[in-house]
């Protein structure tokens, strides 16, 4: 069968460096760090006391008080972000077949704050089960997809993808495939995460995954730097409207970019560590490139997973060199996590937005906080510290997750 073409017609971003797509993109290009001391709870007894929090977000500006209590912060982020993307897309509910529009919304963890508070209250009580009736609906990872579909009346495919930090990239690949196979005309796809909580922070600290550079949070997320010491946790959401090309053209939609390839793979190696040779990453990228019908030499830009962890930042460049050979040194590579921190299950969505905007605008956001080269990392062009202008025809976004999950999405300039 002839596969249908898929384009991006709407974007939404709620991030530690901007509560809209425009603010997010400007701060990416300016190299702004979203990291700072955690403000939402007392961290004095934690090894890590910093994170990339969303700033100036009050749920009561978007929901009535009753709704605020019914939703976890993870859903607050997702619904608000999806609304920006929906409005941006210009989809008219009155003239659209809502049976053909779906939602695929990801979260690596879901309503962690709700889960922790309910269990804590029960544990500290007298054993009487006084649970909030919204406990389960607030907590489950799929509920944001449900809320988004109910808000707009979308009756198409509706589910959540959960593949740890690859979750929202996984959602994008799924939406891409559903549309090109003719099973839907459009999707709101993306993800949200709100894990900056005592249990989230404590859990990742116990794994020795987080930076403890508490005295200098702005430079704590330093992908590919010799002195990196772990990732900085982020929170927020990213949403993209994927739409079948002819459906978008028929309603005169603006088009940001075209989605042309997706790759998924598993390391089958370790519960948290990447394969040391990046074999799963190689497979994911190679599959996406073959899916796109392009050659490796066509890739101009890679937004890497680049978390600022000791092992991960070695494995991914090794995978890039193994797959691309000499062409690897001609690619502009970056890690926007140096600015946003790691949004866990929402990372793939906001990083895909950054990637496709690089394609649209022919400029690569920097990898900030580079001070010292690491001799164990291949000397690629990591776009250190300053944005770089170049023509970007094809760009690739990588996202990897605990459990060995890998997801790759490829964007290109839209051509008639």
Q: What are phi and psi of 403, to 5 degrees?
A: 100, -5
CA distance 166 to 177: 17
DSSP 234: B
Does the pLDDT value for residue 401 go beyond 90?
A: yes
CATH number at residue 385: 3.40.47.10
CA distance 176 to 412: 14
Q: Which residues pair with 400 in a beta bridge?
A: 406
Catalytic residue among 165, 247, 370, 405: 165
3-state SS class at 341? coil
pLDDT in tens, 38-63: 999 999 999 999 999 999 999 999 99
Average pLDDT over residues 192-216: 98
Domain span including residue 136 = 7-250
**104, 227: one domain:** yes
**43, 181: one domain:** yes
Taking CA atoms, 323 is separated from 163, 182, 200, 289, 328, in Å, by 24, 32, 35, 11, 8
Tokens for 243? 């739409």
Q: What is the CA radius of gyration of the chain?
A: 20
Predicted local distance difference test score (pLDDT) of residue 416: 79
Strand 394-401 to 405-412 pairing: antiparallel
Predicted local distance difference test score (pLDDT) of residue 74: 98
Average pLDDT over residues 239-256: 98
Predicted local distance difference test score (pLDDT) of residue 239: 99
**332, 244: one domain:** no
| 405 counts as catalytic | no
Does the pLDDT value for residue 1 go beyond 80?
A: no
Q: Which of 193, 223, 250 is the last residue of a domain?
A: 250
Say if 87 falls within a structural domain: yes
Strand 101-106 to 186-193 pairing: parallel
CA distance 307 to 299: 21
**216, 268: one domain:** no
Estimate to the nearest angstrom the gap between the alpha carbon of 214 and the chain centroid.
24
CA distance 345 to 266: 16
Average pLDDT over residues 360-366: 98
Does the pLDDT value for residue 287 go beyond 80?
A: yes
**276, 236: one domain:** no
| 342 counts as catalytic | yes
Number of domain units in the chain: 2
pLDDT in tens, 68-125: 999 999 999 999 999 999 999 999 999 999 999 999 999 999 999 999 999 999 999 9
Average pLDDT over residues 296-314: 97
| 165 counts as catalytic | yes
Confidence of residue 268 (pLDDT cuts 50, 70, 90): very high
């Amino acid at each position: 069968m002839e596969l249908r073409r898929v384009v991006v017609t709407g974007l939404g971003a709620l991030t530690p460096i901007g509560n809209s797509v425009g603010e997010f993109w400007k701060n990416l290009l300016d190299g702004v760090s979203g990291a700072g001391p955690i403000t939402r709870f007392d961290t004095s007894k934690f090894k890590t006391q910093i994170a990339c929090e969303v700033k100036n977000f009050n749920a009561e500006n978007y929901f009535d008080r009753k709704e605020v209590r019914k939703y976890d912060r993870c859903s607050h982020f997702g619904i608000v972000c999806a609304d920006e993307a929906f409005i941006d897309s210009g989809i008219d509910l009155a003239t659209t077949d809502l049976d053909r529009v779906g939602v695929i919304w990801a979260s690596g963890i879901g309503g962690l704050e709700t889960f922790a508070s309910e269990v804590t209250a029960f544990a500290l009580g007298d054993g009487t089960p006084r649970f909030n009736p919204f406990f389960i609906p607030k907590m489950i990872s799929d509920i944001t997809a449900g809320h988004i579909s109910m808000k707009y009346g979308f009756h198409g495919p509706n589910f959540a993808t959960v593949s740890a930090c690859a979750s929202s990239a996984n959602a994008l690949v799924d939406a891409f495939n559903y549309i090109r196979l003719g099973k839907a005309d459009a999707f709101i796809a993306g993800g949200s995460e709100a894990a900056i909580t005592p249990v989230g922070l404590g859990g990742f600290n116990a794994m020795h995954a987080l930076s403890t550079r508490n005295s200098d949070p702005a430079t704590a997320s330093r992908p590919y730097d010799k002195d990196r010491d772990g990732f900085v946790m982020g929170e927020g959401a990213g949403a993209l409207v994927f739409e079948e090309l002819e459906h978008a053209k028929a309603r005169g939609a603006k088009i940001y970019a075209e989605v042309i390839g997706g790759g998924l793979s598993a390391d089958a190696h370790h519960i948290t560590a990447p394969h040391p040779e990046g074999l799963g990453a190689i497979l994911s990228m190679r599959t996406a490139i073959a899916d796109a019908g392009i050659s490796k030499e066509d890739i101009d830009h890679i937004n890497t997973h680049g978390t600022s962890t000791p092992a991960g930042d070695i494995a991914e460049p090794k995978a890039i060199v193994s797959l691309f050979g000499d062409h690897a040194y001609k690619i502009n590579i970056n890690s926007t996590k140096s600015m946003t921190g790691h949004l866990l299950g929402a990372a793939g969505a906001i990083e895909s937005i950054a990637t496709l905007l690089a394609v649209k605008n022919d400029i690569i956001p920097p990898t900030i906080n580079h001070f010292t080269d690491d001799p164990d990392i291949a000397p690629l062009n990591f776009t250190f510290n300053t944005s770089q202008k170049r023509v970007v025809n094809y760009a690739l976004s990588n996202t990897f997750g605990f459990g060995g999950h890998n997801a790759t999405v490829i964007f290109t300039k839209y051509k008639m």
